[in-house]
Amino acid sequence: MGIIRKASRATLLGFVAVGMAVSLAACGSTPTPAADKTTPAANAGASSAAAGPSGELVYFDLSGGTAIEALSKGIFANFTKETGVPVKPDFGQQQAKLRAAVEAKQVPWSLAQVGFLPTQDKSVLLEKLDPSIVPLDLLQEGSYDEYTIEYGAFGLALTYSLHDFPNGGPQPSKMSDLFDTAKFPGKRCFMEDIRVGWVLEAAVQADGVAGKDIYPIDLDRAFNKLATIKDQTVWASSPAVLVQNFENGSCAMGIMSTGAALGMIEQDGFEAAINWNQGGYASSAWGIPLGAPNPEAAQYLLKAILTDTAGQNLYTEAVASPIPTGLKNFDYSSIKDQSVLHYLPYSDNIKDCTKRGSAWWLEHRDEITDRFNRFVAS
């Protein structure tokens, strides 16, 4: 099986954009509880479990592009070869589609990529994982729960142009340096959708808030700090535009997803660097939809995802994202392209980072969007 080489910038940015959107996917109103949940996947009969998975499995995908290509050519293909169960990806575009299917009790998918879900939503949208099949003990605490396993992690890091801050001279080393225009002059580039850009988090850290105390974000403090560099800020409508702003010289530094930075630096060859200090990271997750047509096969596919080292390596190298997010004993030295490791949200890279507060953002998104729009227009 050949290794998928690094993604082109277009496909990698596509994965980055969707991955960020998935991490904060709108959950909407609390769904109506299912009328009958007395037979979860975990209660599959012993004789069926002993026989192993059968039939086919349709996978609800929210990433597309290189991410699903890497899954299909690696873990999914290996699973089909081992079990005879074909895995058919179906690009769902929006998490709302999954919710609607569960509520209508017309679910065609047996495994799904899901964004952040409050605990109360998981219990009415997803089946419980079966630890007798899925080896959850291979995962770090906090990277899974009884319904989901984290997947699709990405980092948000300080990024700066080496044309503006060349090696051998002063270079920014933490998010708070974004707000020091005297020491580090030049335009700052941020995502205008600040829900995914780590902008408010960086602002309060620059104002003296420790990473562990970021949430709940003090909005007055954050926007007051942003106001100090408002005339030096360039807002980007997408990860692709953010990259373009760096490459065409519109900005000297900013905050970028590490997957986008990988594409810009390693594939495009643009001279820039990232620093993880005071950065953030987030991820989506896998879950088995309630009412899935083949939940047993999904449990076994999750087992394969946790144990297929060759497939894990292929995926990690292709999209600069560990799979799954919290595997305890993954051997990163086995990745053939070691340059990818610098962009992965893992190990020492994230020792000074903070996990994105998805629950807080979900609760306050409308308030913040309104306030941000007024801030930009003022």
Residue 114 forms beta bridges with which residues? Answer: 285
Q: What is the pLDDT along the chain (378 residues), one digit of tens a residue?
A: 333 334 455 445 555 554 565 555 443 444 444 444 433 444 433 434 457 899 999 999 988 887 899 999 999 999 999 999 999 999 987 888 999 999 999 999 999 999 888 888 999 999 999 999 999 999 999 899 999 999 888 899 999 999 999 999 999 999 999 999 999 999 999 999 888 899 999 999 999 999 999 999 999 999 999 999 999 999 999 888 999 999 999 999 999 999 889 889 988 999 999 999 999 999 889 999 999 999 999 999 999 999 999 999 999 888 888 889 889 988 888 888 898 999 999 889 999 999 999 889 989 988 999 999 999 999
Q: What DSSP assignment string belongs to 128-169?
A: PP-TTTS-GGGB-TTSB-SSEEEEEEEEEEEEEETTTS-TTS
pLDDT attached to residue 40:
40
CATH topology of domain 156-281+355-377: D-Maltodextrin-Binding Protein; domain 2 (3.40.190)
Q: What residues does CATH 3.40.190.10 cover in the chain?
A: 9-33+51-153+283-354, 156-281+355-377
pLDDT attached to residue 96:
87
d(CA 297, CA 251) in angstroms, rounded, equals 49
Q: Position 317: which residue type?
A: E
**Look-up: residue for tokens 């700066």?**
160
Tokens at 277, concatenated: 């200090």
pLDDT attached to residue 94:
81
Does the predicted TM-score (pTM) go above 0.85?
Answer: no
> What's the 3-state SS for 185-206?
CCCEEEECCCCCCCHHHHHHHH
Using DSSP's 3-state secondary structure scheme, residue 187 falls into: coil
pLDDT attached to residue 343:
93
pLDDT attached to residue 20:
61
159 to 61, 110, 174, 185, 263: CA distances (angstroms): 29, 39, 10, 14, 13
pLDDT attached to residue 318:
81
The hierarchical CATH code for the domain 9-33+51-153+283-354 is 3.40.190.10
pLDDT attached to residue 326:
87
